[in-house]
Amino acid sequence: MSANIESPKPEALTFRRYKDGDSKPVAWSKQIFNADTSHKCPTYIQSTPPCQGSCPAGEDIRGYLNIVRGVEKPPAGMPWQEYAFRRLTEANPFPSVMGRVCPAPCESGCNRNQVEDFVGINSVEHFLGEYGIANNIAYHKPSTSSGRKVAVIGGGPAGMSAAYQLALLGHAVTIFDEREELGGMMRYGIPGFRTPRQVLDAEIQRILDLGVQARMKCRIGTDISMEQIRSEFDAVFLGMGAQSGRPLPVQGADAPNIVTATAFLKAFNDGRLRHVGKRVVVVGGGDTSIDVATVARRLGHIDKINESDRPEYAIAGHVAHDVATVSARQGADVTLTSIFNIDKMQASKHEVEHALSEGIFIRGGLVPVGVVLGADGRATALRVMRCEAKIVGGKLEIKNVEGSEEDIEADLIVSAIGQAVDFTGLEMFNNGKGAVPADKNYQVQGHAGVFAGGDIIRPHLLTTAIGHGAIAADGIHRFLMGEALEKRPKIDVHTFDLRRKMIEKGLTITEATEPLRGTDSSNVAIHNFDNRSDRYVISSKELFLGHFQYTSRNKRKITNLTAEEALNNFDERLQALLEAQAQAEAKRCMSCGQCFECDNCVVYCPQTAVFKVKKTQSTTGRYVDTDYDKCIGCHICHDVCPTGYIQMGLGE
């Protein structure tokens, strides 16, 4: 039987506004008090929560969590699950995939970490993605066509994201990809037990159903020239990805049984790689190296092997005999080395924990310095040296410990130290550093109408590529419409739209015109409302954290395998939350920077100046109002606002 990770026992809530030893007085200069009153009154400031500010795909995380928890209501006739799904997929068309594999930088930035533990954003995204697939939710096709055609080169996360956004805008999109199937690194770089293929296929098909065309096994620069593409299409998006692995920078790294992680994982995902050597050494430290190590552990090795059936030949593309099915398969001894200590590795913490539990030996603080070769020219060991690695000023510094060399025996060595772009046939876009130079709108410098995104801009996360594709699609749309490519906002993410919510409610709104001094006497929004989401991320210091009680995180069930259980086990390890669990987890969200209708300001206002907006006029983000004739500027509403939505601004 497989063991499950046990949830840690809840601890008592320890949040206190003032800690032992605090002696520095709070500055009152900002309050502008005059006896028991001040010249500052409540203003309603919508800010970006740190989860959204940390999301490379720019998801409106607070928005869909508020829908799941029941604060924001869906339009009449639409289930809340679908409404939340549609809010989520405005930014990311791969919620079920990303809900599984994204390392969730949003959770690291979550202000709830200041109370007890982050909100399980990734798990709610996973739940919504599964709901979308189970209920066959389709995207709404645009009612009109622009008549413009866009070529998307590369069917990975960046290309698919761009194609999705462009199709929604009414443009005709054709994807060109050199592989047999779409998905890029989501398919060929991540093993199926992390991204089930039926899930990936469903989310890709939903995009194709918008009318997106795909030409597979067609490489630009080889099968069709860029000149042809430019003549047939009105704009181009470059999303080829970085699918060429980087070799080890040591002498002897060209030995036949030293391969790159991208080649290793592609061979596995293609079905060619059926077994590995008894001793496998993976060099890396990121999520890709963990994927390689866990795959190697599952494949194991066989004792009797023909020369032509060695794993490196399968990785190189040779067709081997089906020996793995007739031979007794045994486990592989897998060692993963990293220049960083284990606690500083770039890989997701939970993926590292999985690897350790499966019997993978992880050794931090080691740098490769050479390869030991046998008489046949094959590597027999990786020579490493102790080191101290750190990032200084954005640059990696490695200090070797002389005299600490040792050899780690290996039958197969895998380099997972980075990836590179193959610019064959597309050399005109190479900036000389293996990347494409692009501006803030992701338009390629010197090539009007050509945009780019993903690893060819900067190798990073899959969700980063999705964000690049969306921003580039917006730039492409403006280019096709003859509009100027405006400066992108400082915080470039999707945010809650109060005006859209008011229209959904059937409320009449007016355009805001300058000069505008507050909105208390207009129906633009609510009084003294300002949306600063494009330039301000609200910190935990602006929240009333004392409002939030200790609430344990609702964790997904994760199958944790032992070393023996991992062998030949390619079942998915992660199970989605149940509906009640997803709702309970969403309720842990503190809705940073936006009202979540707690009533604190109404209850605690000593002048009854703060009041609820009439139900016929209220919406999410338009829940309370202030009677300025009663308000004395005592700041209590601001002090007790858990979300930091109420700020104090100069009033009359």
pLDDT at 528: 74
Confidence of residue 510 (pLDDT cuts 50, 70, 90): low
Q: How far is CA 611 from CA 506, 528, 597, 639, in A?
A: 22, 15, 12, 16
- CATH top class, domain 245-419: alpha beta
Across 393-515, the runs of DSSP E, i.e. the strands, are 395-400, 406-409, 412-415, 419-420, 450-452
Which residues, 6 or more positions from 397, have their beta carbon under 8 angstroms from its beta carbon?
389, 390, 391
Tokens of 350: 């939970």
Tokens of 126: 């996973």
Evaluate whether the domain defined by 149-243+421-480 bears CATH number 3.50.50.60. yes
User: Do 158 and 453 form a contact (C-beta atoms < 8 A)?
Assistant: yes
State which of 208-212, 225-229, 394-398, 444-448 shows the largest mean pLDDT. 208-212
Looking at the predicted structure, is the pLDDT value of residue 652 above 60? no
Per-residue pLDDT, averaged over 156-182, amounts to 97
Which amino acid is it at 3?
Answer: A
pLDDT at 275: 82
Looking at the predicted structure, is the pLDDT value of residue 255 above 60? yes
Tokens of 202: 């469903």
Of the chain, the percentage scoring pLDDT greater than 70 comes to 88
Rg (CA), the chain: 27
Of the chain, the percentage scoring pLDDT greater than 90 comes to 65
Question: In sequence order, what are the beta bridge partners of 450?
Answer: 236
d(C-alpha 190, C-alpha 156), whole Å: 12
**What angle is formed at CA 14 by the lines to CA 10 and CA 15, rounded to 5 degrees?**
125
Per residue in 70-95, pLDDT tens? 999 999 899 999 999 999 999 999 99
Nearest to 284 by CA among 296, 276, 292: 292
The DSSP output letter for 486 is P
pLDDT at 322: 47
Nearest to 595 by CA among 627, 625, 626, 620: 620
State which of 35-39, 128-132, 186-190, 566-570 shows the largest mean pLDDT. 128-132
pLDDT at 32: 57
Q: Which residue has the higher pLDDT, 4 or 271?
A: 271
Per-residue pLDDT, averaged over 211-219, amounts to 96
Average pLDDT, the chain: 88
Domain ranges, ordered by start, for the chain:
149-243+421-480, 245-419
Please tell me the pTM assigned to this model. 0.89
Per residue in 391-416, pLDDT tens? 888 888 999 999 999 999 999 999 99
Looking at the predicted structure, is the pLDDT value of residue 453 above 60? yes
- Mark 571-595 as b/e (b = at least 16 C-beta within 10 Å): eebbebbeeebbbbbbbbbbbbbbb
Looking at the predicted structure, is the pLDDT value of residue 34 above 90? no
pLDDT at 500: 86
User: Do 67 and 80 form a contact (C-beta atoms < 8 A)?
Assistant: yes
DSSP, collapsed to helix, strand or coil, labels residue 71 as coil
What backbone torsions phi and psi does residue 531 show, to the nearest 5 degrees?
A: -95, 105
Which residues, 6 or more positions from 586, have their beta carbon under 8 angstroms from its beta carbon?
65, 66, 68, 69, 119, 124
DSSP, collapsed to helix, strand or coil, labels residue 318 as coil
Q: Could you give the residue ranges of the DSSP H alpha helices within 172-310? A: 185-188, 197-208, 226-232, 261-270, 287-299
β-bridge pairing 3-4 and 559-560 = antiparallel
pLDDT at 4: 47
CATH fold match for the domains 149-243+421-480 and 245-419? yes
pLDDT at 329: 60
pLDDT at 6: 47
The residue written with tokens 């929560």 in the block is 49
Nearest to 412 by CA among 310, 328, 331: 310
Per residue in 293-342, pLDDT tens? 999 999 887 765 655 567 676 676 554 444 444 345 677 899 999 999 99
What backbone torsions phi and psi does residue 170 show, to the nearest 5 degrees?
A: 95, 10
Looking at the predicted structure, is the pLDDT value of residue 503 above 90? no
Per residue in 265-294, pLDDT tens? 998 988 888 888 889 999 999 999 999 999
Per-residue pLDDT, averaged over 104-117, amounts to 93
Looking at the predicted structure, is the pLDDT value of residue 27 above 80? no
pLDDT at 508: 77
Tokens of 287: 């999520």
Per residue in 601-648, pLDDT tens? 999 999 999 999 889 888 898 899 888 889 888 889 999 999 999 998
